[in-house]
Structure 1
């Protein structure tokens, strides 16, 4: 019989280790030695953190019930290896990927009425399967990959987080099956979020930054999926019992089918995947998303819902929501629970102000009734911890920068529209074509990242950072318009007269744009002359 011990076999990709993958035990006990989870596949990285690493840590050590208790754990600098070791000793049979009775995150003996299996690519959003055919896929469904047990384990937990919706195979023993299938399946719970994960300089810091303070501790009856009775094919719609149940939510019933390769090694080519439990509501305990308040929620639904990432929109443009750690924004958006906690810890002096905090944002755009993956949105940006308290100067600067960038985007789009009017061409629809404002925002992104990194290192130099941003953004805004102005046809110089008497000409459009940029960013500071500096000073 096949066996793969997730506790001791290497399968978790980390940065800074001697080998690409480490075991679950080493990932926890040596977390202070690793730079963090490897982010080559961000969907799997988020799934490993949520479905395995954090729940094991919380179940083994408990949750901190106060800021002081959290700070005490932070000050230790590493995880207690003896506590984690004893935890695994008592539960070693629960972490076998191919266990005959309770395989990890699976249902033993799961099968369909006709004993059908599917290619293991069904677990991989980036692989071709059924009607999910990524544009640049190197394989077809007829050529499924051969996954090692380590790869299969990562794909398994990722599917429990991100799997697509729609029809699933009907499992024997599931009374909800109709015609050999189940319908109406939602996407897996994490796919319903705009994921926001705080990351530290080491894997240990990442674990701590993702450890919520829960005053009452773990709720009675709350436990991770591997501590429950062996899973069965049937499923139901229900709320999460608590944080551990939520993080290890079994959104699908799965069985990996191990096979033997030509060299005798174990590979996984086939899988059985059926409907799993449906989360009735995303609870307020959800730590990895920002929120937006719904003015008129449906009956039985909470007033807050997860704030999803918008395709094509850089996360820094939503800075107001990320920094809304105390009060919601004008659009009723609030930061994530974990970033709000970091703000409190920083305000109480329990975290260093030069902490190298980064924010990983991940989201999936589903298409065709959420049955296929259209796009994966990913970004990793530095976030100055000094900007999280609500009244800080770095926070005010970052909100100002995001607002100025949005105003410049609008001004650039207006310039493009005005040039098209001058040539008697219809303006581009807002949702079609490459607009100048989008190009400008793309050019501004490196500047914003540089600003974030600089404030992270030296949060006291806000005025200098502000002046440097304004100068760089002004140059960027003017440079971005040059290609469009230079490419304007001759008739744009002559323009045309509108019915209201307003003239649409290239020179007027350029002057208006320059004026708007100056209104947004201010005018460049005048350089002092030699006489103003003094006779003995260099100009």
Structure 2
């Protein structure tokens, strides 16, 4: 078996000089200031690489900053201490071999089932067909699995630890909890239960720093990443996380990659088959450790419920529509949501002057919607938006503008939906069910997205123009609202002019629906006028 050293072999997809390339773990850490960022061809894998390898390696090698000043000194240095990083990776080099005979990276050596069954490698890749998980537009079937390179297999392996589906898993020899060759009750991977929010900087170094939490008491003495723990066996435990490093590198599955000799592939091997079984389960909330999600406080939690729950992303909902939660860095929102820890920390760093007000900042949001009993992946929700760092401050004019835009857009969505309902009522039809079809408000909000992105990017560059930005938004929002409304008004059936009950003085009819929509626009946007109106 040929080894594949993750420290020195290229396997991490990044953008460098405007080109997509793959770099080694060592290069990613010591040359991060020269790398634009992680390439997001597969955001599930990108987040997994960040959380499972890059961030914990930095934290374990350098330690967590104890205060904001220490964090700032690292930020101002502009790069990580190459000597410390290199020494650390050399010390643990044998644990970063993907195909090590006794301790393969993030796997279990010799893992097997009682019948020596294997699965196609597509089991680790949600976008490919396997078992009941058959994506609608998959070009492959389960009997035709891809042959992943070692680099691709490493990324898929990490993504499985983060996002794998739940339900029944094949039982492994040596696991005492196996019954009838299976284990049941498996939860999804830990990130599958979160709405992941990742701050992204101008370079990979900046991104890693923005994801580095300040921990006044330091990392817990018992804490360690998975590569400093004893090699895992087929048995697993239900336990709490030992600390942040343990949580970031959580081994939610027991996996073994099976290689095929291939002289044309990097490393001389490809991976087509895999053994995957149950892994460790978190039995306690990681609210005090988890930095990458917003949290909602339960109003009246039952004794068997956690007091806080992770906020998950909603399918079809752009990230900018959740700006209120992202900006809840000082006080919770009206529905008791607080921002992710890293954004709250960044708000404090900006307030104390440790980062500039024109800091190039984006926020990447990633989530998974699972299907039947969480055993299949129905959807992967991904979005990335620019975010003015000054908007994180509680008393910022930019924050007020950004929140006003988000609130106004939501009110306009409701108004557009009401217009559609009123026109259907005038024609004698029933309302469109909220969970079926495309409603008029959804079309309107979708048309807002490019404008809101430009507004956020503009405020990041020129935070002093918040008032002008809001005025321009109102003008554009009104124009877009009429661009969506006018086609349905002009093509309404003739019967809507008098409505289904012509004798009713205030019954539903076209003129009433249009007047109601016009009033709603004025209520939300004021009296700003455009030619379109």
Range of TM-score over shorter length: over 0.9
- What is the distance in 2 between the residues matched to 1:482 and 1:119? 52
Paired positions, count: 527
Matches within 5 A, 1:54-93: 54-93=55-94
Indicate the SS of the match to 2:316. coil
Q: In 2, are the aligned partners of 1:174 and 1:233 still within 8 Å (CA)?
A: yes
Contiguous gaps of at least 5 residues in structure 1: 528-539
Conserved 8 A contact 2:475-2:528: yes
Match of 1:277 in 2: 280
How far is the alpha carbon of 1:526 from its aligned partner? 9.9
Q: Aligned-pair distance for 1:430?
A: 1.6
Contact 1:281 1:301 in 2 (8 A): no
Alignment of 1:308-323 (within 5 A): 308-323=312-327
Aligned to 2:38: 37
Aligned mates of 2:134, 2:530 — CA distance in 1: 57
Kindly report the root-mean-square deviation, in angstroms, between the aligned alpha carbons of the 2 structures: 1.5
Residues 129-140 of structure 1 mapped to structure 2, 5 A cutoff: 129-140=130-141
Matches for 1:321-400 after TM superposition, within 5 Å = 321-400=325-404
CA spacing shift, 1:102–1:421, aligned 2, 3 Å:
same
Partner residue in 1 for 2:180? 179
- Helix, strand or coil for the counterpart of 1:491? helix
Which residue does 2:148 correspond to in 1? 147
User: What TM-score do you get using the length of structure 1 for normalisation?
Assistant: 0.96
Q: Deviations over 1:163-198 (max 9, x none)?
A: 000111101110000000101100000111000000
Whole-angstrom CA distance in 2 between matches of 1:309 and 1:155: 22
Contact 1:498 1:504 survives alignment (8 Å) = no
Q: How does 1:79-228 map to 2 (within 5 A)?
A: 79-228=80-229
Preserved CA contact (<8 Å) 2:2 2:99: yes
Q: Specify which of 302, 307, 314 is matched with residue 303 of structure 1.
A: 307
Pick aligned residue for 2:516 from 489, 497, 512: 512
- Measured in 2, the distance between the counterparts of 1:298 and 1:165 equals 25
Structure-to-structure mapping, 1:6-17, within 5 angstroms: 6-16=6-16
Q: Which residue of 2 aligns with 1:409?
A: 413
Looking at structure 2, the residues matched to 301 and 69 of structure 1 have their Cα atoms a distance apart, in angstroms, of: 37
Deviations 1:488-509 (A, max 9, x none): 1111112133897522211221
Q: 1:499 to 1:490 in 2, by over 3 A?
A: closer
1:266 alignment counterpart: 269
Q: Distance in 1 between matches of 2:230 and 2:13?
A: 29
Counterpart CA distance in 2 for 1:318 and 1:184 is 32
Kept after mapping to 1: 8 A contact 2:118/2:273: yes
Q: Is the 8 A contact 1:411 1:437 kept in 2?
A: yes
Q: Is the contact made by 2:4 and 2:98 (CA closer than 8 Å) also made in structure 1?
A: yes
- Measured after TM superposition, the shift of residue 19 of structure 1 is 6.5
Report the CA distance between 1:263 and its aligned residue.
Answer: 4.4
Structure 2 stretches of 5 or more lacking a match?
A: none
- Distance in 1 (CA, whole Å) between partners of 2:529 and 2:430 is 38
1:436-488 per-residue CA deviation (whole Å, 9 max, x = no partner) reads 00000001111111110110010011111011000000111111101111221
Task: Supply the distance in 1 between the matched residues of 2:8 and 2:262 (Cα, whole angstroms).
Answer: 22
Q: Does 1:492 align with 2:496?
A: yes
- Is 2:65–2:71's contact at 8 Å kept on the other side of the alignment? yes
Q: Structure 1 residue 27: deviation in Å?
A: 0.3
> Which residue does 1:533 correspond to in 2?
none
Q: In the alignment, is residue 425 of structure 1 matched against residue 429 of structure 2?
A: yes
**Partner residue, 1:435:** 439
- More displaced 10-residue stretch of structure 1: 294-303 or 162-171: 294-303
For each residue in 1:292-347, what CA deviation from the matched residue of structure 2 results, as whole angstroms up to 9, or x when unmatched? 11123343653111100011111211111100001001100110000000000000
Once residues 467 and 441 of structure 1 are traced to their aligned partners in structure 2, the CA distance between those partners, rounded to angstroms, is 18
Task: Work out whether 1:449 is the aligned partner of 2:453.
Answer: yes
Residues 107 and 255 of structure 2 are in contact (CA less than 8 Å); yes or no, is this contact kept in structure 1? yes
Residue in 2 aligned with 1:48?
A: 49
Aligned mates of 1:246, 1:452 — CA distance in 2: 33
Q: 1:333 to 1:500 in 2, by over 3 A?
A: farther
